[in-house]
Amino acid sequence: MLYDLNIPWSPTTSPPDLESTLRLAKHFGYDVVALNHTITSGASIPNSPNPITNPIPVLSQPHPSYPGGSGSITSPSPVASSTAVPSPKGSLPITLRRVTITVADPSTTNYRLPDFSRAYDLVALRPTSDKSFQWACLSTTEPPSLISLDMTQSLGYHIHHRTAMAAVSRGSRFEICYSQVLDPKGQPDPARARSNFIGNVQSLIRATKGRGIVISSEAKSALGLRAPADMANLFNLWGLGSEKGFAAMGTGARSVVENEGIKRRGFRGVVDIVQPAEGGEDLIRKDKEAAEGKGKKQKQKQQQQQGQKRKGGANGGQGGQQAKKMRKETKP
């Protein structure tokens, strides 16, 4: 099962264009995709206690890892129902709803991360400075699902091995979006943007040694999507082996979704009841009946032993009296 965890979405996205992108993703073999809503920290984040709302439409059943994944489709919000794309069942991949928060100052974002986690399926951070990168890797109240960097820009800091692996050990993953290099629209210098992308990707691969990396598309249209095999071969040229390249779109991305699902359906994100044991109720009833029967037998045995003791004591008293009487009679 392959995953593409970054399909950009905004309130102005055309439903037909979105549907064509999702259909092509399904054709390429991506079984699970995530619609990504990007928010800039600061003015775009409502202040507490205003609730965080999720405007992304619900297009499919929940992922099996999330609550309600084996049941019916989650009822969408009024905003989602008005923008939902009608499509035949099974023609589109399973769709998750994700938010990416562009962070420059961590103090304006940290206290609202739990609210975003409750509103969205996935929460990603895009740091734009060394301070925000260190915070995203080490100091967030809840580890983000993904740390997504704009690889077309000069980062201005070095990605250290210890910092990157500390983020991976906390459960976060680093996301690389290949459409940034294949279609660098909006960049003042596309050649420079491609050069920055390749250098930053190689730096991240060296820092993580190829571990904890997720490859996504960030395709703004269907033309920005590529087949998984093509991307695995391309990243192989930049130092990420083919096996790790496929894992970045498969098992690596799946682990992100599974971990977030466990956080939402498990007790404090630690204890999770997967499935009750078969015949569990019958076994409990039989054990209870066997324990009750054993207790009754022990009680009856104790009563019988007590009765025998009483009977033996009474007979012993009568025998003692007869012996005393016979001794008196034999005396001269």
State CA 67 to chain mean position distance.
11
Angle between helices 242-249 and 228-237 (to 10 degrees): 130
Residue 66, phi then psi, degrees to nearest 5: -100, 160
Tokens 């998984």 sit at which residue?
A: 228
Q: What pLDDT score does 19 carry? A: 92
Residues with Cβ within 8 Å of residue 178, at least 6 apart in sequence: 215, 216, 217, 218, 226, 231, 234, 235
List, for residues 22-64, the tens digit of each pLDDT value: 999 999 999 999 999 998 865 556 555 577 888 888 888 877 7
State CA 1 to chain mean position distance.
16
CATH homologous superfamily, domain 2-265: Metal-dependent hydrolases (3.20.20.140)
Residue 256 parent element (H or E) = helix 251-265
DSSP 267: B
Domain boundaries of the chain, sorted by first residue: 2-265
Whole-Å CA distances, 78 to 53, 58, 60, 118, 184: 11, 11, 16, 18, 35
Angle between helices 242-249 and 251-265 (to 10 degrees): 30
Residue 199, phi then psi, degrees to nearest 5: -65, -40
Q: What pLDDT score does 73 carry? A: 35
255 closest CA partner among 200, 205, 211:
211
pTM of the entire structure?
0.73
- Distance, CA of 243 to CA of 265 (rounded, Å): 31
Q: What pLDDT score does 212 carry? A: 93
Beta bridge partners of residue 98, listed in sequence order: 36, 122
Percent of the chain residues past pLDDT 90, beyond the cut: 41
Q: What pLDDT score does 67 carry? A: 67
Q: What pLDDT score does 322 carry? A: 66
Spatial contact of 5 and 214, defined as CB atoms under 8 Å apart: yes
Q: What pLDDT score does 182 carry? A: 86
52 closest CA partner among 40, 60, 44, 42:
44
List, for residues 58-76, the tens digit of each pLDDT value: 888 877 777 666 543 333 3
**Residues lower than pLDDT 50 in the chain:** 71-89
